[in-house]
Structure formats: C-alpha cells, structure tokens
Amino acid sequence: MALAAFLFALSVSAAAIKLKEPPLASPVPHFEHAYTVSRLPSRGSIQAMSELRTVDSVIRLTRGNGSSLSSLYVQAMRLQDTGRKEGYSRLTTGSLPLVNIEQGTVFLAPVTVGGQDFDVVIDTGSSDPWLVSTGFDCVDPYTHDDEPEDYCYFGPLYNPSQSTTFTPIPNRNLNLSYADGEFINGLMGYESFTMGGITIPQQQFSAVNFAGWYGDGISSGLVGFAYRTLTSAYAGTDPKADKAGHQISYDPSFVNMYTSNTTAPVFSMAMSRNENEGGVMALGGIPDIPHSPCWISVPIIPVGVNASSGEVVYEFYTIVIDGYAYSSDQSAQFNPYASANSRKRSLVGNGTQAIVDSGTSLMYVANDVAVGVTFAFTPPGTCDPSSRTDPTCYVPCHSIPPVFGVTIKKKVFFVNAQDMILQNGVDDNGIPVCISAVQADLKGLTILGDSWMKNVLAVFDIGAEMMRFSAREFYGLGSYGATASPGGYS
C-alpha cells in the first residue's frame, strides 16, 4: 500500500460519561474531530545503528485496565470507515462489535519521581511525561462539570511539596487533549526521574493540576517515547491562551537519557501472552530473553496523526513489509522471494506499509488477506469487510488456526497459533464468541498489533531511525525465561 493511502481526513465522534461501574449501555455524547494522517519529516542527522547489547535497565510492564491512547486514533478512523458515528473512548464499556478488544491494551511501568513511586502509562506515540499532582481539579471530560478527585480515577498523586528536587518553570504550561475528549493541563517543572534503573536528575515534566480523565485507579500519569517534536508545552500559565503551532519543544525522558550518553538511543519491547503480565521493555539495548540470532532491520517511516488545526497530535512507527504468508496446510512452506519455486507458496499483499503498535490488540491487514485467513481456519470462519454494521472476522472458538506470518526483508515472522484466536465476550445464549486476530483494515491503516508483537523482539533504534526484529521462540515469558518449542524461527 502506498503511503498516499494513509492520507485521508476523518471526522469522528468520541467520549463517554465516566462512571466507576458504568452500565453496558452508557449514553454516548457526540462531538466532532477531524484528523489527517501524513508522513513526518526525517529527524535530521541519522546515526549508525547501535550495537545491540543485553542490558540491565529492563522494565517489567503490566497490563492496565482501560484502553491504549493509540487505539483512540485507530478506532476513530475505523468507525468512520464503516460509516458508524458512535462515540469511542478509553472507558471500557459499550456494545459495538469488537469494542473491548479493539480498545487495545494500556501498558504500565514503575517510575520514581522526586523520591515518590508511581505506575505510569507507557506510550510510544506521544512525548510528554506528566503526573497528576495533589490538589488537582477533576472535571467530566465531556461536560466539563466539576467532579471529586476520585471521579478521574487516578492512582497515587504526585506531591511536589514532598520533593527536594522539584523546580517549577515560570510561565510555562502543558496542554494536552486526546481523541476521546480526555485532556490534562498543568504547570511545568524539573524533577528527578528514575525508570529502569536510569536516573535523569532534571527531567522537564508537568505536574497536572486540571484533568478530564478516564482513569484506571492505578496509573498516575504517562511517559511518552516519541520524538521531542510532539511535546505540548506552551508559554504562559493560562491554557485557554495557548495557540496551536506555538508549542515550546523540550526533550522527553528517553531523549534525555541518550543525549546525555546515559544509554544508547535504543529501546526494545517483548510482549507477554500471559494476561497477568505485560512483558518487558529494555532501555538502551535488549532484555535477556530467548530469541533468534538473526536480526532484520528496516527503516522507520514516522507517520503523524494531524488534528484539524494542523498540529501533529500522535505518532506511529511505520515500516514497509513484504507481505503475508498463510495457509491451512500446517506443513506449508513459503517463498518470500520473487523467484519461481513450485514447492513453496508465494506471499500475498506485497509492498505494504504497516504500523507497529503494541497498544493495538489485533492485526489489521488488507481486506482480501483478512478474508483469506479467516476462511483458512479449520473449520472456517466468516468475514465480510464490506458490511457497514459488522465487518468483524469471526471464527469458531475451537478452530485450528492457519499458519500465518508477516514477511519483513524476506524473512517470515510467524504468529503462534495461541495468538490467532481471541475470545470477545459471549452471545445472547452465553456461548463464547471468538474472532480472528487478523482483521480487515477496511482500506485504512495496516497495523501489526500485540498479537503479532508477542512473537518478536522489537527494537526501536531511534538514533538510526530503524526498527529491528528478531523472532522469539514459542514461549511462556514468565521470568524472562522460556521453554522453546519448534516454529518460532523461520
């Protein structure tokens, strides 16, 4: 798919009333946002690829309750593609097909700020680090009505008065809003940040004092891992006076780590299929987990989500993939090269650009590929991407999945059969409903989500603007360890 296929404008409704225990059919307010998706310019000087070393600066991720920020933008676009106008939010309610799984996954990590410990959301598509502070004002994200603090449902609050390292930045504020209507405002300051055993003595961040938020009761803020061009600090202390395009850039936490030579400009992620765990994230290298000795490198194509104001409000890491390999024949062999080989099957969907996003649960591929994969289950499933009411690809919960893989630089990265079927609730008779992990992209964004990323060690080489992948053994990630079984490498 050419990059031009990513360039489309979309209007989307979003947000839902926040309740501690929301009913299944919450009223959904409507308000309009328009987005475009475009390629972002290169970051300038590009470094040589970093040597990949096993590092001790490893963060254990946990899965939070709620939805990822990346899924806000993905599903906003998909709602428009299907002609649906329902609202969408990180609040885990609703009765739309796939709503729970399509909301993605929030990954949380521990961080120490000013000597205080918190869990924060890790987000590769945004840049600003922020924590909600004591005495903050909570409002409903949609109505803006004043609410008690627990309505926003944050975890522990950051207290600047208990820190000996906090320094406020005069006349500077953070102003962030998200696709579902959530927003935060706060004062900027410098503070000691420690993550993965690495300390930044003076990290610029925001102590949030005004929030309309759908919290999870655990996380106290967010740390972004995108580039500094997405930071959202503004001059002055009145967010109402902030103007689009007048942001004051600053270095996010990971940028500070590698520009100060504390670590290499690389982070890596290995996701766990154990729902009680999230996986691991290594700063400056890779974690000590089993993986193939073969690495594949591919350039990062930075793709931005633009608001109607022209601001880039989110960023995706995008790569070019060769295509897909799939077959109901469990012993099938595939030919990732153009040469004729009658003994091997050819790839489908050649030359596709795909977003790599752990916050999206599923894989979104070309419509015809999704249909083909669905029919390759034994027994086959059903899939109608042309449906404007339910384009979901369903499969029997007891099906045998086909062999399925994604090819990058002529190497096929196969997906474990355990990751190919997801249960998505029950029907009116209480019978489980299952879907394929490979869903139709509805001629929109192609995404390699969590179901695929569980099968690779993914390296984000920011300095070289490259992504690198190594296949993982078909594992059970527990304490970094794994019991290997055949099939993970190809």
Just list the catalytic residues.
Answer: 123, 357
DSSP letter string, 437-465: SEEE-TTS--EE-HHHHTTEEEEEETTTT
Rounded Cα distance between 103 and 91, Å, is 9
User: Which two tokens mark 113?
Assistant: 């700020």
Q: Over the Cα atoms of the chain, what is R_g?
A: 22
Sheet holding 10-13, edge to edge: 10-13, 32-39, 301-307, 312-321, 352-356, 447-448, 363-365, 438-440
Bridge-based pairing of strands 323-327 and 312-321 is unpaired
Residue with tokens 């999945």: 401
The residue behind tokens 């765990």 is 277
Q: What sign does the dihedral 43-47-52-56 (CA atoms) show? A: negative
> CA 201, CA 8: separation in Å to the nearest integer?
42
| Identity of residue 222 | L
> In degrees, to the nearest 5, what angle opens at C-alpha 331 toward C-alphas 414 and 375?
70
Contact 182, 126 (CB under 8 A): no
Q: Report yes or no: 305 and 35 within 8 Å, Cβ to Cβ.
A: yes
- CA–centroid distance for 116 within its chain: 26
480: number of Cβ within 10 Å: 14
Alpha-carbon span 325 to 363, nearest angstrom: 14
Phi, psi of 13 (to 5 degrees): -90, 150
What is the DSSP code (8-state) at residue 94?
Answer: -
3-state secondary structure of 199: strand
Q: Is 254 left (phi over 0), alpha (psi -120 to 50) or beta?
A: alpha
